[in-house]
Chains A and B, each alone.
Chain A
Amino acid sequence: AQTVTQSQPEMSVQEAETVTLSCTYDTSESDYYLFWYKQPPSRQMILVIRQEAYKQQNATENRFSVNFQKAAKSFSLKISDSQLGDAAMYFCAYRSSYSGGGADGLTFGKGTHLIIQP
């Protein structure tokens, strides 16, 4: 079974600064998908960014980018120009590509609470 580890329970950053959230995962598969989700206090999970393991290029979405290191099984999220609205829980998630029978549920880490200091 796959596992996802987020070693930073909480991170704090000044507004407009850059912050990096860490995620490592364990899998024996060679093809899979990785995601970062944001969960504000309203509890609604929002997809921030995704990465396909077969792609060498790191994904970017505006101020959000990832550093995907497949050999190291590392998938960190970098948030540039942090804004107050970025404050939330951030979850790293894994999805297998080898879904038997169509099973494609996500495996989540425990999350990192991101605090933005004004």
Chain B
Amino acid sequence: EAGVAQSPRYKIIEKRQSVAFWCNPISGHATLYWYQQILGQGPKLLIQFQNNGVVDDSQLPKDRFSAERLKGVDSTLKIQPAKLEDSAVYLCASSSLFSGGPYEQYFGPGTRLTVT
């Protein structure tokens, strides 16, 4: 079974530029999460999708961050415009009620964003 795929693995941009990250969850997983992990901290949930609907985006800075999961499969997270404090690793995870342990989330390798 293929794992969660993310691209790119690394991205360097200047502040005020825009950037997009892509995530393809494990096949059949209805739930998809985006987390932000700032250096030296644990991941923080940004947004959760159930199929193509948003379940929780309470911690998403909506003035600059947006995310979509149009067909209920892969997802894109966008930052526009980026700030220095957005430098972090962006992790995507997926889960299913029907595979793995109860409520287990499977994580991708992450995208490391550096904003200069």
Binding site for B on A (CB under 8 A): 4, 33, 37, 42-47, 50, 52, 91, 93, 95, 101-111
- Judge whether A103 and B103 touch: CB under 8 Å: no
Q: How far is the CB of B97 from chain A (nearest CB, A)?
A: 10
In the bound complex, residues from chain B placing their C-beta under 8 Å from that of A103 are 48, 55-56
**Of the residues B42, B44, B45, B89, contact of A43 by C-beta under 8 Å:** B89
13 contacts between A and B (CB under 8 A): A4-B42, A43-B89, A43-B91, A44-B110, A95-B103, A102-B31, A102-B55, A104-B31, A104-B103, A107-B45, A108-B42, A109-B42, A110-B42
Interface flag for B108 (CB, 8 Å) = yes
- Judge whether A50 and B109 touch: CB under 8 Å: no
In the complex the two chains form, what is the Cα distance from A91 to B40 in whole Å?
A: 11
Q: What is the chain B residue whose CB lies nearest that of A44?
A: B109
User: Chain B 79-116, CB within 8 Å of chain A: the 1/0 string?
Assistant: 00000000001010101000001111101111010000
In the bound complex, residues from chain A placing their C-beta under 8 Å from that of B105 are 47, 106
In the bound complex, residues from chain B placing their C-beta under 8 Å from that of A52 are 102
In the bound complex, residues from chain B placing their C-beta under 8 Å from that of A45 are 43, 91, 93, 107
Q: Which 4 A-B pairs have the closest CB atoms?
A: A108-B42, A105-B45, A45-B107, A103-B56
B interface majority secondary structure: strand
- Judge whether A106 and B43 touch: CB under 8 Å: yes
In the bound complex, residues from chain A placing their C-beta under 8 Å from that of B56 are 101, 103, 105
- Judge whether B42 and A47 touch: CB under 8 Å: no
- Judge whether A110 and B41 touch: CB under 8 Å: yes
Q: What is the chain A residue whose CB lies nearest that of B30?
A: A102
Near A by CB (< 8 A), chain B positions 1-37 give: 31, 33, 35
In the complex the two chains form, what is the Cα distance from A104 to B31 in whole Å?
A: 10
- Judge whether B110 and A104 touch: CB under 8 Å: no
Q: What is the chain B residue whose CB lies nearest that of A42?
A: B109
**Of the residues B48, B102, B108, B110, contact of A105 by C-beta under 8 Å:** B48
User: Apart from A104-B31, A111-B41, what are 4 other A-B pairs with CB-CB below 8 Å?
Assistant: A42-B109, A101-B55, A102-B55, A108-B42
- Determine which residue in B50, B91, B102, B107 has the highest number of CB atoms from chain A within 10 A of its CB, and name it: B107
